[in-house]
Structure 1
Amino acid sequence: MQTMTGLLGALEPEQRERLRALGHDVAFEAGVRIFEEGDTADRFWVLRTGSATLDMHVPGHRNVVIDHVRPGELLGWHWLFPPYQWTLGSEAASPVRALEFDARSVRVLCDEDARLGLALTRAVAGVIGDRLHRARTRLIDLFGPYSPHSRI
């Protein structure tokens, strides 16, 4: 039996299957923009293969990559919390295969099944905590006092 990791692995088998039933397979070629900062967060993905970057717009610069999402991991969490708007952008760093979920359908499922909703919210909260920590570390590397961009 395969051990589940990532977002889906945080759910009980029955919860995982109910959520999976709402997903469908998608693919993105390397370099394809998956979502843009400021757009409506109306879907999310669990990567099966490949990787995607998370980036932010920095005025006067190219988008700054602040994290990478890998197989088994959740891509996109803003769909769960109003105002349902992306605060980062994402691009396929390599060819990606993923399960894509319609956010509204998943929120309805969470409302109908409070246990699943709590488990999913806790799993997403864990992802948020990890991503914030990694983003902070990356931004310190990029713009901190010893970065190549700092002024002495």
Structure 2
Amino acid sequence: MTAISTMTSALSVDHRGRLMRAAREVSIPQGARLFEEGHRADRFWIIRSGTVTLDMHVPGRRSPVIETLGHGELVGWSWLFAPYVWQLGAGATSPVRAYEFDAQTVRVMGQADPALGAAVAQWVGGVLAHRLQAARTRLLDLYAPYGSGGLR
């Protein structure tokens, strides 16, 4: 887990408090899918306990796991960027307890308070950058010829 991936390291106490007032606690059973790549992104989660894997559709193959997320980590970033469509899929690999947020509510909060909106965008942007690098690395591990995964 990177420092930017946790809300507590990315948002001020005031912004965290305001955001958490919009959360609801949910339980997600092991094996449940939180979302599918290409579907509408209308919510996101912060994991309290359990694990969620992110995966990517690869035609003709089983979807490879890109990353495994746990306590304190953000699940879902596509809700913040139009057209609000999931870029990855996600499933619970154990029973998960999480805080769930309605995406539209959080976007409206950010529009009403630009400082909160900027802080949330900075947090989610950091997570996004990390996830894209993880996806690149994982796909190179799985599909590139040996030795071709080095950064240029």
Would the TM-score normalized by the shorter structure come out above 0.5? yes
Q: Which segments of 5 or more consecutive residues in structure 2 lack a partner in the other structure?
A: 148-152
Q: Deviations over 1:8-33 (max 9, x none)?
A: 43111111111000000011111111
Indicate the residue corresponding to 2:92 in structure 1: 92
Partner of 1:74: 74
Deviations 1:49-87 (A, max 9, x none): 111011111111121111111111100000000000001
Give the partner amino acid of 1:42: D
Q: Which runs of 4+ in 1 moved over 2 A?
A: none
Aligned to 1:14: 14
Question: Are 2:25 and 2:99, in contact at CA under 8 Å, matched by a contact in 1?
Answer: yes
2: CA distance between counterparts of 1:6 and 1:92?
A: 19
Q: In 2, distance between residues paired with 1:135 and 1:58?
A: 12
- 5 Å-filtered alignment, 1:1-152, equals 6-146=6-146
What secondary structure does 1:137 align onto?
helix
Number of residues paired by the alignment?
A: 143
The runs of 5 or more residues in structure 1 that have no matched partner are 148-152
- TM-score, L = length of structure 2: 0.90
SS at match of 1:17: helix
Q: Which amino acid aligns with 1:144?
A: A
Percent identity of paired positions between Structure 1 and Structure 2: 52
Query: Pairwise CA RMSD of aligned residues?
Result: 1.3
Q: Distance in 1 between matches of 2:131 and 2:63?
A: 17
